[in-house]
Chains A and B, each alone.
Chain A
Amino acid sequence: MPGSFTKRTFELQTNGDSALDIRFADAPGPDLSETIIALAQAIESASIPGVTELVPAYQCLTVCFDLLQLPDDGAGTQRLVDTLNELVRVQLTQPSPVAGPRYQIKIPVCYAPEFAPDMQALSNHVGLPADQVIRRHSATDYLVHMLGFTPGFLYLGGLDKQLHCPRKDRPTLNVPAGSVGIGGGQTGIYPQQTPGGWQIIGRTPLALFRPQRDPAFIARPLDRIRFVAISAQQFAETDPFAEPEKIPIDTAETDLANAGNIQKSRGARR
């Protein structure tokens, strides 16, 4: 894996007057997410004065800063650009591994019709009966690439190609909190009741965003999510604030070249 780091190309670009984007040319994937999270940790460790937020995404790490905290010599932003350039170069040539534990997190999902208003439409589109959709959807580990959009929303990679299905032409106004959906090649869970255009095939009883609790968010980038099918009765009996089942991932097995590898390594661990 370290070899692949050195091939990456990147560029720094302004994102408004108080943020810089570090953008990578590589396609999104587990490897690039690993690079971006490692870089975020390196920038954090560097404690650069004025840096206020780091926002990792599929191909980009955004560094937000307080304009007035940068040196007032007319070149404050340029100096930050130079510092970041250097940090990225070091990270790409002598990559430090991502620190901290990571987990496979089991999220219970009830795929019963009352929670799956779009199952029939999705089933028709992909040409698989509902039980096959459920089996495939809950048979794989998904990589958490990033959190964002709304509090606690997980951007997951690794959806079975057989389950890809376009978003709805017209978004549903009120998708209930906990709804599990498929939109294009992505799957995910709506943490809050919001409008949404994905095909809803189930619902988790668990709260993904728990502002009064620690941790407030059910997963972190580079964790893996496994959906576990449950019955409507189990759904009703589950405490929304119950801790999901979390299994530490052996760091030796986290070398993910692509989403397909996620499925293979999953088999080995169980």
Chain B
Amino acid sequence: MSLHIIQPGLQTSIQSVGRPGLMRWGVARGGAADTFAMALGNLLLGNPIAHPGIEVALTGPEIEFTTDVSIAVTGARFDLSHNENAVPNNAVLNMAAGDRLRFGALKSGARAYLALAAEIDLAPVFGSVSTHLISGFGGLHGRSLRTGDHVPLQHCRYVAPRELPPQFRLDYRTRPLIRVVPGCEAGYFSAEALSAFHHGGFAVSPQSNRMGIRLTGEPLATTDLPQLVSSALCPGTVQVPPNGLPIISFVEGQTIGGYPRIAHVISADLHRLGQLQANQRLDFEPVSAHSARRILKEKTQLLHELPAML
């Protein structure tokens, strides 16, 4: 019982929520770039929200199923076909042994999640089967999937067909407004630089990866910024290196850093970073710590309410 990779796509990997608790050893949490989208797929299948699945980025794979199993694709919108027939995103799909699922054109967003009504039968590393792509461990041989790979499955099952309620079908086409709280060194930036950061219309650089999302645009002034002694760098932190172009630390970001931090993406919006496409423009909206907590609570609450709505 396995997923047989016919075409791998650009960066298709096994992911779950990653490995919290290892930053002190230099190991970033990693895991799914959009944990919210991953959770939606899992809930559709009756899985726990952190159940391991497959993350698909930008160019999707073609996969043959060697077993009967239910799946669901959430997150970025792809044209999907099941044995040449168009099938919907955000819905339970039943695959039979020998069936093929093909990811076609990407319509919006950047990363989709293929949730499985099955267990991925691989040995966890530090308690997780997530692939740490930058450091090369976890998942299948520590790398993204390749043509000919078999991802071993066990406990495969079918679940009742159902779809995500419309309010859960996320639309990634609008210009993203990412909410932030003030950075540790925000006070060192000029009022002009802070204003330019929030309304500068930075765009996502094609040089971005799971380590960091680099931004392009009009560089921020960095002349008066202090030299810092390196310390912990958490995901979502926006650092400004001497060239003035901000970098957002991402799921596999370095755990120690030393550039001035202008802002931190709020926990509730971290998952949205996973849907940014290259060259997409985005804005940052400052919010209070109180709002950051409220928004996270609301989003978490939504997930908890979903099973009853299916």
Chain B residues 105-144 with CB under 8 Å of chain A are 125-126, 132, 134-138
Indicate whether B63 reaches chain A with its CB closer than 8 angstroms: no
A209 contacts B24, C-beta separation under 8 Å: no
B25 contacts A216, C-beta separation under 8 Å: yes
Bound: A53/B256 CA distance, A: 13
Select which of A21, A77, A216 is within 8 A of B232 by beta carbon: A21
Indicate whether B159 reaches chain A with its CB closer than 8 angstroms: no
Q: Is the interface of B mostly helix, strand, loop or mixed?
A: mixed
B136 contacts A192, C-beta separation under 8 Å: yes
Contacts of A40 in B (CB 8 A): 24
Chain B residues 285-310 with CB under 8 Å of chain A are 289-290, 292-293, 296-297, 300
Contacts of B193 in A (CB 8 A): none
- Name which of A98-106, A124-132, A145-153 contacts chain B: A145-153
Indicate whether A5 reaches chain B with its CB closer than 8 angstroms: no
Q: Which residue of A lies closest to B295 (CB)?
A: A17
Contacts of A62 in B (CB 8 A): 231-232, 234
B135 contacts A151, C-beta separation under 8 Å: yes
Contacts of A21 in B (CB 8 A): 184, 231-232
Per-position 1/0 for A81-123, Cβ under 8 A of B: 0000000000000000000000000000000000000000000
Select which of A15, A28, A72, A151 is within 8 A of B27 by beta carbon: A151
Indicate whether B267 reaches chain A with its CB closer than 8 angstroms: yes
Q: Smallest distance from the beta carbon of B197 to chain A beta carbons, Å?
A: 16
Chain A CB count within 10 A is highest, among B21, B25, B132, for B25
Indicate whether A59 reaches chain B with its CB closer than 8 angstroms: yes
Contacts of A74 in B (CB 8 A): 290
Question: Which of the four size classes fits the interface of chain B?
Answer: 35 or more
Select which of A19, A54, A150 is within 8 A of B26 by beta carbon: A150
Indicate whether B13 reaches chain A with its CB closer than 8 angstroms: no
Question: Which of the four size classes fits the interface of chain A?
Answer: 35 or more
Per-position 1/0 for B268-283, Cβ under 8 A of A: 0000000000000000
Q: Smallest distance from the beta carbon of A105 to chain B beta carbons, Å?
A: 15
B20 contacts A151, C-beta separation under 8 Å: no
Q: Which residue of B lies closest to A217 (CB)?
A: B25
A13 contacts B125, C-beta separation under 8 Å: no
Indicate whether A200 reaches chain B with its CB closer than 8 angstroms: no
Chain A residues 197-247 with CB under 8 Å of chain B are 209, 211-212, 216-217
B296 contacts A57, C-beta separation under 8 Å: no
A152 contacts B25, C-beta separation under 8 Å: yes
Indicate whether B255 reaches chain A with its CB closer than 8 angstroms: yes
Bound: A184/B289 CA distance, A: 38
Q: Which residue of B lies closest to A56 (CB)?
A: B24
Contacts of B136 in A (CB 8 A): 192
Chain A residues 6-39 with CB under 8 Å of chain B are 13-19, 21, 23, 28
Contacts of A53 in B (CB 8 A): 20-24
Select which of B21, B26, B126 is within 8 A of A52 by beta carbon: B21
Bound: A149/B24 CA distance, A: 10
Indicate whether B181 reaches chain A with its CB closer than 8 angstroms: yes
Q: Smallest distance from the beta carbon of B300 to chain A beta carbons, Å?
A: 6
Chain A CB count within 10 A is highest, among B230, B264, B265, for B230
B184 contacts A14, C-beta separation under 8 Å: yes
Indicate whether B254 reaches chain A with its CB closer than 8 angstroms: yes
Chain A residues 44-95 with CB under 8 Å of chain B are 52-60, 62, 64, 67-68, 72, 74, 76-77
Indicate whether A155 reaches chain B with its CB closer than 8 angstroms: yes
Bound: A147/B231 CA distance, A: 10
Indicate whether B75 reaches chain A with its CB closer than 8 angstroms: no
Extra A-B contacts (13), CB below 8 Å, given A148-B25, A151-B26: A16-B266, A17-B267, A19-B234, A53-B22, A55-B232, A57-B230, A57-B231, A57-B256, A148-B255, A148-B256, A149-B255, A150-B134, A151-B137
Q: Which 5 A-B pairs have CB atoms at the shortest separation, nearest pair first?
A: A148-B256, A16-B264, A62-B232, A55-B232, A57-B231
Q: What are 11 of the A-B contact pairs (CB < 8 Å)? A: A21-B184, A53-B20, A62-B231, A148-B23, A148-B24, A148-B232, A148-B256, A149-B255, A152-B26, A192-B136, A211-B125
